[in-house]
């Protein structure tokens, strides 16, 4: 008797949907609380709390609908054999345009083109509603319809440009990989990730946003002084026009070895009127660098990728696995898709573990900024960002433990205050 892999996968997906919906309901109840957490009373203004509460509840209601539609579509596609049906249809399309349908690369690209069209169609209503209804209602959306669709067209064009060579390379590696297939696949993805991390900020990101050097002044001087004191090899300091799309704020670093760059969203600079708050946020980010969090995370991802490919090589020739999902052939891409579905339980556990580590890193980076003397500025900066982004003030502990990669504001402030008391 063949093990019902597909039925088990669909069953687990539905089980996880109910579990995560239970957590979402707990979070929704927390968001409905009419008062601030005790530690935020007098810290967060009542006006910002009410706006945050309304925004969070709107997003929560939308999330319930989106997740329900997603699980229904995903389960239907797997259970009723839509994938194998579509795989055969994509073969017919290759033949129809006069190409060789027996060429797996062409067949796979035809399949992926159809999947991309389908995902664009099904995701579009949700993206439009999220951007032009929810985000606009709460004052965050700055996009026009034209800019929205222009970004979408650019993304599609980049997928068409970058995707086929990557897909073709993976198929060839799997076909010719032999006993060291997992290592070859990992090596390819490792090189690809390095290339993309190098190319994305220089060639791709500027297609969507404008990067301008941070003007000379007090803020630039303070950031450069901080970077120099930590021997951070800062080469360029940019401001990005995030305000053209949203009033949400952020900051990030990128670059290898001695060629580091820091990028500030213009919204961050506008929202934090005090330069010290911006510098404190940068101190937190530099803490991640100084404490090697980025390196640890990168290494962890590489190990997990190698393990995933190792698992894939164990099942890629399993006729029973393919047949369970309705396939009478064993295409490379389909094998990868099926394998990803079969290891969903492990992925959930890994994701939970990575979130635990990420939250620990956030506390460490906060403590690092505090040791540099930015405790007060970091505290006020975190509060300012929480207020301006209308982030959730009340969070359910189970929900945040499962989903959050960053600790809630209440926990971060408590940790900063606790370390302050220890120093007194």
**Does 362 show up as a binding residue in the annotation?**
yes
**Does 63 show up as a binding residue in the annotation?**
no
Question: Which residue's structure tokens are 């003397």?
Answer: 373
C-alpha distance from residue 121 to each of 116, 125, 141, 243, 403 (Å): 9, 8, 22, 27, 27
**Structure-token pair, residue 237:** 């300091």
Residue 405, phi then psi, degrees to nearest 5: -90, -15
- Taking phi over 0 as left and psi of -120 to 50 as alpha, with beta for the rest, 397 belongs to alpha
Nearest to 424 by CA among 384, 387, 375, 377: 375
- Known catalytic residues are 285, 366
**Cα–Cα distance between 138 and 151 in angstroms, integer?**
22
- Taken in order 272, 249, 290, 215, the sign of the CA dihedral is negative
Q: Report, in angstroms and rounded to the nearest whole number, the Rg of the chain calculated over CA atoms.
A: 24
**Cα–Cα distance between 108 and 141 in angstroms, integer?**
37
Residue 395, phi then psi, degrees to nearest 5: -130, 145
**Cα–Cα distance between 395 and 28 in angstroms, integer?**
9
| Binding-site annotation, residues for Zn(2+) | 284, 288, 362
| Binding-site annotation, residues | 284, 288, 362
């Amino acid at each position: 008797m063949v093990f019902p892999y597909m039925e088990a996968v669909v069953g687990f997906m539905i089980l996880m949907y109910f579990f995560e919906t239970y957590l979402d309901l707990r979070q929704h109840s927390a968001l409905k609380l009419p008062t601030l957490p005790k530690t935020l009373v007098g810290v967060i203004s009542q006006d910002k709390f009410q706006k945050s509460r309304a925004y969070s509840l709107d997003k929560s209601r939308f999330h319930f609908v989106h997740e329900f539609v997603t699980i229904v579509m995903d389960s239907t596609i797997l259970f009723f054999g839509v994938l194998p049906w579509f795989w055969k249809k994509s073969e017919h399309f290759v033949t129809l345009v006069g190409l060789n349908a027996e060429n797996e690369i062409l067949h796979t690209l035809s399949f992926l083109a159809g999947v991309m069209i389908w995902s664009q169609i099904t995701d579009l209503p949700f993206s439009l509603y999220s951007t032009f209804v929810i985000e606009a209602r709460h004052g965050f959306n700055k996009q026009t319809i034209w800019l929205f669709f222009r970004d979408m067209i650019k993304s599609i064009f980049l997928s068409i440009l970058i995707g086929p060579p990557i897909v073709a390379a993976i198929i060839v590696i799997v076909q010719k990989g032999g006993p060291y297939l997992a290592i070859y696949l990992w090596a390819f993805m490792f090189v690809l990730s390095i290339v993309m991390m190098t190319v994305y900020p220089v060639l791709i990101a500027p297609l969507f946003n404008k990067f301008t050097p941070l003007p000379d002044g007090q803020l630039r001087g303070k950031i450069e002084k901080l970077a120099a004191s930590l021997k951070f090899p800062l080469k360029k300091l940019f401001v990005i026009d995030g305000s053209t799309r949203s009033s949400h704020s952020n900051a990030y670093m990128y670059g290898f070895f001695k060629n580091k760059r820091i990028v500030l969203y213009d919204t961050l600079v506008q929202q934090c009127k005090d330069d010290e708050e911006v510098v404190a946020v940068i101190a937190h980010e530099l803490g991640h660098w100084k404490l090697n969090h980025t390196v640890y995370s990168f290494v962890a991802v590489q190990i997990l990728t190698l393990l995933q490919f190792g698992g894939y090589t164990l099942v890629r020739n399993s006729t029973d696995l393919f047949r369970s999902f309705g396939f009478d052939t064993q295409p490379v891409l389909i094998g990868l898709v099926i394998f990803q579905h079969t290891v969903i339980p492990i992925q959930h556990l890994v994701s939970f573990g990575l979130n635990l580590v990420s939250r620990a890193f956030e506390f460490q980076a906060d403590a690092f900024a505090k040791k540099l003397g930015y405790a007060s500025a970091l505290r006020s900066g975190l509060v300012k960002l929480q207020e301006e982004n209308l982030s959730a003030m009340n969070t359910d502990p189970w929900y945040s433990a499962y989903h959050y990669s960053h600790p809630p504001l209440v926990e971060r402030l408590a940790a900063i205050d606790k370390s302050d008391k220890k120093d007194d």
